[in-house]
Amino acid sequence: MQLLSLLFSPIKEFLKKGDIILLGLCLAASTFGLALIYSATQYTGETRWMRFVFVQLVAILLGMIAYMLLTFVDFQLFVEKRWKLLLIFNVFFILLLLTPLGEDYNSGNLNWLVISRIIPRFPMDIQPNEIVKISFILLLALQIVKIQDRELDISSIPSVIQTGGHTVFMLGLIAAICGDFGMCVIYMMIFVSMAWASGVKLRWFLLVGSGLVLTVVLLWLFFLPETRWWNDYRIMRFRVVFDHSLDPSGRGWQQLRSTMAIGSGKLFGQGYLKGIQTQSPNSEALPARHTDFIYAVCGEELGLVGCMALLLLLASIVLRCIWVGRHASSPFNAYVCMGMAGMLLAQITFNVGMCLFILPVMGLTLPFISYGGSSIITLFAAMGIVSSVKARPMPSWLRDRSQV
């Protein structure tokens, strides 16, 4: 009996303090995703679809365990004491991609660590960029808090240079090592969400945003058309968004198939396991249907109703992160929650926009829905950190004063 009590006491403590609502939303979304993955991989044959579903299911279970364990960690204390170690980890983990473990899988982006090369039969690859997103958020939150603790204006030039410099360093590292500009956009949006939450003035966003837009427009109109880069596959991904007929059998082909699948679903879809493109044995009918374009699978088989239900579920997770952040016990915890919410919102927006052919292909998966063991575990771990914030509420006397 004493042994059972020791085993179940952490679970009781988690049920008492952890964010059960957030966990339920994450499980609902990942279950939705598992059902779509099952449908999207039927064309691969029994042995292959079973592997996809098995890996995703195991990842969800491991993610749940990570969620529960991380709920008990005081991340503010940990980051304050180990921030140097965390920064070294970020750099070292990305640099590992330059070793023989790194693999690009012909995508042009060096994103994956193939662990099976040193551990035979290891069931999944690891994407350092996904994991480093979490530690980047933790470090950026600490940096913002340290600036505010010194009673410096967070919108002053030195403060913006400090936080912006950290972000630019990470963007440069990822761009140089991985060449993954889609992931760079996500890191940038994380910074924007946390900077906004910390009180950075609107003028900075307008100034930097206007500068970026002006630079892109000038390059687009006057510089790029005169260079060999104009027909580079990265530039073509942007060009086809503005002119769908530009390269329909090349860089625009994936998104054309996606919009056809979503459009054919109409209001209620063609039926689960009955989508024409989703169930086609031709792997080119709907590309990356269990990863990048899984939203198109939902649109084809479940229609507009299914897509809206999916987006509502994901929006609920984002809003829950924001709610926890607004009730956090410290500014550090609040900024962490806002960073997690910004990360999810950006990835959802760009993935759905890509599937609807209003944004370029960036290789970004749909959180909790797309296939990917390391991605699912990382997402549950990220939400576990939000749960740890919920487990450490603001003291009642301080909460009462904050509401005055």
What would the pLDDT profile of 73-90 be if each residue is shown by its tens digit?
999 999 999 999 999 999
What's phi and psi for 393, nearest 5 deg?
A: -70, 165
Evaluate whether 303 touches 264 at the Cβ level (below 8 Å): no
Q: Is residue 313 scored above 70 in pLDDT?
A: yes
Give per-residue pLDDT as tens, 28-54: 999 999 999 999 999 988 778 899 999
Reported as a pLDDT band with limits 50, 70 and 90, residue 401 is very low
Note the pLDDT tens digit of each residue in 278-309: 999 887 789 899 999 999 999 999 999 999 99
Mean pLDDT of 347-362: 94
Using alpha carbons, list the distances in angstroms from residue 354 to 20, 258, 357, 364, 373. 32, 9, 5, 9, 22
How far from each other are the two terminal CA atoms of the chain, in whole angstroms? 48
Give the pLDDT of residue 6. Answer: 56
For residues 72-109, b (16+ Cβ closer than 10 Å) or e, as one string? Answer: eeebbeebeeebeebbebbeebbeebeeebbeeeeeeb
Amino acid at 349: T
pLDDT tens, residue by residue, 166-176: 999 999 999 99
**Does the pLDDT at position 69 exceed 50?**
yes
pLDDT recorded at residue 275: 94
Contact 101, 128 (CB under 8 A): no
At 52, which helix (H) or strand (E)?
helix 46-71
In this structure, which amino acid lies at residue 48?
Answer: R
* Residue 145: count of CB within 10 angstroms of its CB: 20
* Segment 130-150 mean pLDDT: 94
User: For 62, phi and psi rounded to 5 degrees?
Assistant: -65, -35
Predicted confidence at residue 152, as pLDDT, reads 78
Tokens in use for 152?
């410096």
